[in-house]
Structure 1
Amino acid sequence: MRLVQVLIPQGARASVLDALDGEGIDYALFDEVGRGDFEAMVQFPVPPSGVEPVMDRLTEAGVREDSYTIVLPTETVVSQRLSALVERFPGLRISREELYARAQDLAPANSTFFAFLILSTVIASTGLLLDSAATIIGAMVVAPLMGPAISASVGTVLDDRAMAARGVRLQVVGLLAAIATGAVLGFLLQGSVLLPPDLDITQIPQVAERTSPNFLSLFLALGSGLAGALSVMRGSGSTLVGVAIAVALVPPAATSGLGIAFGLPGVAIAAAVLVLVNLLAINLSALLLFYAAGFKPLDSGQFERVRKSFVSRVVVIAVGIAVLSLVLGLVTLTSFQTASFEQQVRTDMQQRVEEADIEGVELVSVSVDYEPVDMVLGNEPQVNVLVGIPRDLDAPPDLAQRWDDELTAEFDRDVVVRVGFVEAQVSEREPSSPPFGPFAAATLATRTAGGTAFGGSPGGSAA
């Protein structure tokens, strides 16, 4: 429920009260003894979704824009007289006046915005290097990116060009500042004792997650934008939703900066693409939801201009997402193909060993070194196989080459096969010994006789 207080201009008392009576609203009227521009103040309770239509009626009755109107949220209203109003104005959508005020509150001053954004990027970059998801989530609580995204969309649908431009500007400049902050921090830490000198950030899972964007990332951004807009419209959980929006933007921005610092252009570009896609998707989903909810500018003469501005902005954002989705589609397709290839190779090698049915021989492990970037660049997949054999069985000298030829023919692509052999020794358990004693497990020893080892040359590898 909302409590609305309106100062009635001189000469408009009768028309304002008639409008409230026509809406069936109970009100309290007070004489205004302050400034001479107003003759009275009226206050009345109304459901959230009823504020906007009632204010439209009051505007027609003579309440000008230069009057004072205050909309207050109420904790509790004890009355049996409001049931008709609640039925007449169902729903929880706030008025455009409240939406405008919330959008202004969500977009902080420039100094506050950049201070919190830089701090959140520093924390997120640290979390990425530590591979700490908890630290990254903590950084998102600090990030202030929800406000600019919401204010840009609200400014568009309510025809406030200054608000829309500031929202867009804060997002773009802010994310560029986040990338720069990640790069500076990476440069500083790279030459310090805080990081290993041979650190490969591409092997850190939290970093690798932001360098392989796919269509799931797009759904995350779209959902975050819708949740942000819905939370503002309903007035619930906007702080927590802001965390979701920040998760889609700050960590990949920090990853892009770290890629610049460590001299990895592939990491920097891939993470930057993810940032841009998420930014566009968040703005698109929020803009569509606000427009679909029926928010319009107060001046009816601006409806057509707002509609054109909305359509043009949606088209531009949608085209940008479509172009960048080609990258997402390529990553998604190559990720699926490399994962499928690895699974097929594992199944194939297991089947080959089982069909050989040699006593004491077992497949210890199969790993495939084949990333999406390898598929794009045309690099050959490398298959690493580790086989356990008894001590009295000689390792086949040409097994790697045979499997290389067979896999190449089966999958119609060149592969590199590396085969390693280990001796499998299984102790015999005495009846009186415990079933899971410390020495009752199988032991493996690397076969070095004849130069055969994991990745060894005689019979151990083939290209």
Structure 2
Amino acid sequence: MLHLRLIVPADRTDSVVGLLEKTVGTVHLVVLPGVARNPAGDLVTCDVAREAADELLTELCALGLEEDGSIAVEEVSVSLSDRADRAEREAPGEPADAVLWDHLTEATHEESTLSVTYLAFLCLATMIAACGVVLDNAILVVGAMAVGPEFGPLAGICTAAARRAPGLAWRSTVALAVGFAAAMAVTTLFSLGMDGLGLFSDKKLEADRANTGFIWDPDPFSFVVALLAGIAGTLSLTSSKSGALVGVAISVTTVPAAANAAVALSYGDYVQMAGSVQQLALNLVGILLTGTLTLLTQKFFWTRQRSRMFRTEQSA
């Protein structure tokens, strides 16, 4: 279930309440007239089944609440209510299959914005991965994958493509390109510094690395894994399965490839650098391709289900 908190201009309260009352899957409706001060209006709250929320939010925005009032949505972790259970059963579809497009857009907007924190995490992840590739330490490489925040901009580009949002696409692309460029530049300097301290060496980089040699030597499986990761990562976002997103993060060779390219550049090994950049590109393209296709597929089937439900209600 989701909890909606609405600030409604007084002249639209009846319309909003009527919409909530007729929406299948809505329950626990509360109306507090005149309590809101900024903006002024009535406070309306309710719980709604996740699978009915996206259409409801669209209709609430059509009533002008986005401009003249407020719409806040929260996840309900526990709801001990027979009415809520009945509302979820009556709502069409399954909660895990429902996509809240406004929520997805808002989430990817935050995660795909070029910020100091985003750059810091990406640079730190790439430097950790640099230590992992030089030491041939798979644990460090996996840790770097988990720290890297690059899936946020990737998800932003996929969402922008599915929703035709050029602003989000541009912001996500800038975050991805500038982020990796900055992380690789910082890691190149980091590698030179570590070499000066005697902790890195070209011999370690050129050695036969059984655990991390694949990073700069991509094969068809690299692209296959990226394709699968794009599907899994997108589904984890749309279904709020954050645990699955961690698994996606440690299954694709993005940050490690950027790190290996940076270290190779610091030693003038352009063969490893080229292979690492190719690995990075394959993973990014694979995730973007299947991530976008997954969202478009979800959008298609969910729209068909809503249309079928509407026709059923009309014929009843």
Q: Normalized against structure 2, the TM-score is what?
A: 0.84
1:38: Cα distance to partner? Answer: 4.6
Alignment partner, residue 311 of structure 2: none
Which deviates the most, 260-269 or 232-241? 232-241
Deviations 1:243-280 (A, max 9, x none): 236x4201111111222222221111111111111111
Superposition map of 1:75-154 within 5 A = 75-87=77-89, 88-91=91-94, 92=96, 93-107=98-112, 110-154=115-159
AA in 2 matched with 1:33: V
Mean Cα deviation higher: 140-149 or 18-27: 18-27
What are the Cα deviations for residues 178-221 of structure 1, in whole angstroms up to 9, with x where unaligned? Answer: 33234333333345432467445252234421222111000121
1:57 matched to 2:59? The reply is yes
2:15: which partner in 1?
15
How many residues are matched?
A: 294
Please tell me whether the aligned partners of residues 9 and 62 of structure 1 are also in contact (alpha carbons under 8 angstroms): no
- From the superposition, tell whether residues 97 and 259 of structure 1 become closer, same or farther in structure 2 (CA, over 3 Å): same
Moved more, 209-218 or 176-185: 176-185
Deviations 1:370-429 (A, max 9, x none): xxxxxxxxxxxxxxxxxxxxxxxxxxxxxxxxxxxxxxxxxxxxxxxxxxxxxxxxxxxx
Shift in CA distance, 269/202, structure 1 to aligned 2, threshold 3 Å: farther
Q: Name 1:218's counterpart in structure 2.
A: 223
- Over the aligned positions, Cα root-mean-square deviation in angstroms equals 2.4
Asked whether 1:4 is paired with 2:10, we answer: no
Q: Retained in 2: the 8 A contact 1:124–1:135?
A: yes
The answer to whether 1:73 aligns with 2:80 is no
More divergent stretch after superposition (122-131 vs 175-184): 175-184
Q: Given that residues 9 and 68 in structure 2 are in contact (C-alpha distance below 8 angstroms), is that contact kept between their aligned partners in structure 1?
A: no
Find the partner of 2:208 among 196, 199, 203.
203
Per-residue Cα deviation, 1:40-83 (whole angstroms, up to 9, x for no partner): 22211111121111223334555454420111111221222234
Which has the greater radius of gyration? 1
SS at match of 2:37: coil
Partner of 1:362: none
Query: What letter matches 1:30 in structure 2?
Result: L
Aligned to 1:249: 254
Mapped to 1, the partners of 2:58 and 2:263 lie a distance apart of 52
**Is the CA contact 1:15–1:62 (under 8 Å) kept in the aligned structure 2?**
no
Amino acid of the residue matched to residue 12 of structure 1? R
Structure 1 residues 13, 232: closer, same or farther in 2, change over 3 A? Answer: same
Q: 1:224 touches 1:244 (CA, 8 Å); kept in 2?
A: no
CA contact under 8 A between 2:216 and 2:272: conserved in structure 1?
yes
Residues 1:113 and 1:60: Cα distance change in structure 2 (over 3 Å): closer
For 1:186 and 1:112, locate their aligned partners in 2 and report how far apart those are by CA, in whole Å.
Answer: 22
Q: In the aligned structure 2, how far is the partner of 1:157 from the partner of 1:172?
A: 21
Distance 1:241 1:169 in 2: 25
On the 8 A contact 1:8/1:63 being kept in 2, the answer is yes
**Partner residue, 1:234:** 239
Quick one: distance in 1 between partners of 2:145 and 2:202? 29
Does the 8 Å contact 1:136/1:251 carry over to 2? Answer: yes
Q: Note the alpha carbon deviations across 1:309-347, whole angstroms, 9 max, x for none.
A: xxxxxxxxxxxxxxxxxxxxxxxxxxxxxxxxxxxxxxx
Of 208-217 and 148-157, deviating more is 148-157
Look up the equivalent residue of 1:254 and give its one-letter code: A
Write out per-residue CA displacement over residues 86-123 of structure 1, whole angstroms, 9 at most, x where no aligned residue: 13233222411211222133235521111111111111
SS of aligned partner of 1:34: strand
SS of alignment partner, residue 299 of structure 2: coil
Question: Residue 32 of structure 2 corresponds to which residue in structure 1?
Answer: 30
Tell me the CA shift for residue 177 of structure 1: 2.5
Between Structure 1 and Structure 2, the one with more helix by share is 2
- Larger RCO (CA under 8 A, 6+ residues apart): 2
CA contact (8 A) 1:231 1:241 kept: no
Partners in 2 of 1:32 and 1:85 — Cα distance?
A: 28
Give the Cα separation in 2 of the matches to 1:76 and 1:236: 16
In the alignment, the residues of structure 1 paired with residue 181 and residue 64 of structure 2 have an alpha-carbon distance, to the nearest angstrom, of: 47
The share of aligned pairs that are identical, in percent, is: 22
Q: Is the Cα contact below 8 Å between 2:231 and 2:294 reproduced in 1?
A: yes
Partner of 2:45: 43
Name stretches of at least 5 consecutive residues in structure 2 with no aligned partner: 301-316
Structure 1 unaligned regions, length at least 5: 296-463
Contact 2:187 2:259 in 1 (8 A): yes
